[in-house]
């Protein structure tokens, strides 16, 4: 027992001393943890491709209002996606040491309450979507199929990370569409690069669960690649950088864009060199 209640209600893989555990009202903490608000990195990973795409499509600078709208949508839909995944994966999460303390397998949030919370977050996301143009609304609705099937992929393929990349980076298409009302080669190349980025970083992430995954029969690219992970990261991240550079060329972006791509490439090289699986 701690000052904040039973220790087991805290999520094992959340950052220590995160703001939800420190400042959020006790009644709201399980739901905020379910939406992963205690670890905002996932929201950034969802949001950044949206902002990249908006900037790529915008002449004279991106609209701050549009970027804010996508930020609200990213928080809501990242939370909704995590809630849905935890509902579907509750039995698997209960069998994995890192995830068994999450709100649903730990009993902090019941299934009915989780579904209600999921609907509430989706309504926020829908409100954001309806503020965009018709083409972008239809494009956003098309992404729901990918979101729906993703949690089941780890049961049938060693490459659920590809489906995650397809779903998680849909904003690379939507940002451009929200500005222009259409699609072209530049956002498609950006989308491809972002997918490869996700496959890389989520393969790294999946290594922490590989022992439990192997025991319970769950598949991942970490299990597939094993000790060859570092070699394949050069492929994934190298192809990502090439796709980003090609997207800039397709959009006729100036040289400062390629300086940014070079800095991104340097950071990804650092990741690979420092990797310890």
pLDDT of residue 152: 95
What is the tens place of the pLDDT at every residue in 157-182?
Answer: 999 999 999 999 999 999 999 999 99
Task: Give me the residues paired with residue 2 across strands.
Answer: 5
In a domain, 6, yes or no: no
The pair of three-digit structure tokens given for residue 32, joined into one six-digit string:
């905020």
Read off the CATH number of the domain in which 159 is found: 1.10.357.140
**Contacts of 124-127 spanning 24+ positions with Cβ under 8 A:** 124/72, 124/73, 124/76, 125/73, 125/76, 125/77, 125/80
In a domain, 221, yes or no: yes
86 three-class SS: helix
In a domain, 51, yes or no: yes
Rounded-to-integer distance, Cα 35 and Cα 75, Å: 9
Question: Whole-model pTM above 0.85?
Answer: yes
pLDDT of residue 2: 40
In a domain, 173, yes or no: yes
In a domain, 1, yes or no: no
Domain count, the chain: 1
What is the tens place of the pLDDT at every residue in 233-256?
Answer: 999 999 999 999 999 999 999 899
Q: Which of 7-21, 44-58, 187-201 has the lowest mean pLDDT?
A: 7-21
In a domain, 5, yes or no: no
Instruction: Give 176's DSSP letter.
Output: H
In a domain, 240, yes or no: yes
Task: Give me the residues paired with residue 5 across strands.
Answer: 2
Does residue 156 register a pLDDT over 70?
Answer: yes
Residue with tokens 């779903």: 167
By CB atoms closer than 10 A (0-12, 13-18, 19+), residue 243 is buried
Q: Which of 1-5, 31-35, 91-95 has the lowest mean pLDDT?
A: 1-5
Q: Where are the beta strands (DSSP E) in 55-211?
A: none
Rounded-to-integer distance, Cα 272 and Cα 277, Å: 11
What is the tens place of the pLDDT at every residue in 21-71?
Answer: 889 999 999 999 999 999 999 999 999 999 999 999 998 889 999 999 999
pLDDT of residue 9: 62
Residue 198 structural domain: 12-274
In a domain, 209, yes or no: yes
Residue with tokens 């094992």: 12
């Amino acid at each position: 027992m701690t000052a904040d209640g039973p220790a087991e209600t805290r999520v094992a893989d959340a950052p220590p001393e995160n703001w939800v555990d420190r400042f959020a009202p006790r009644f709201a903490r399980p739901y905020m943890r379910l939406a992963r608000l205690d670890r905002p990195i996932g929201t950034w990973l969802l949001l950044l491709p949206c902002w990249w795409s908006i900037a790529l499509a915008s002449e004279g600078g991106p609209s701050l209002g549009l970027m804010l709208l996508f930020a609200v949508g990213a928080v809501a839909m990242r939370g909704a996606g995590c809630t849905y995944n935890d509902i579907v994966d509750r039995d698997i999460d209960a069998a994995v040491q890192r995830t068994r303390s999450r709100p649903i397998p730990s009993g902090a949030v019941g299934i009915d309450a989780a579904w209600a919370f999921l609907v509430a977050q989706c309504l926020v996301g829908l409100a954001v979507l309806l503020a965009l143009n018709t083409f972008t609304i239809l494009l956003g609705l098309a992404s729901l199929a990918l979101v729906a099937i993703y949690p089941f992929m780890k049961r049938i393929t060693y490459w659920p990370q590809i489906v995650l990349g397809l779903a998680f980076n849909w904003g690379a298409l939507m940002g451009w569409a929200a500005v222009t009302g259409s699609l072209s080669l530049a956002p498609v190349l950006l989308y491809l690069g972002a997918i490869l980025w996700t496959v890389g970083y989520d393969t790294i992430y999946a290594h922490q669960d590989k022992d439990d995954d192997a025991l319970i029969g769950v598949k991942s690219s970490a299990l597939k690649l094993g000790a060859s992970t570092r070699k394949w990261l050069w492929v994934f991240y190298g192809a990502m950088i090439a796709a980003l550079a090609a997207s800039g060329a397709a959009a006729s972006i100036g040289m400062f864009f390629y300086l940014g791509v070079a800095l991104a490439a340097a950071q990804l090289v650092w990741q690979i060199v420092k990797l310890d699986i």
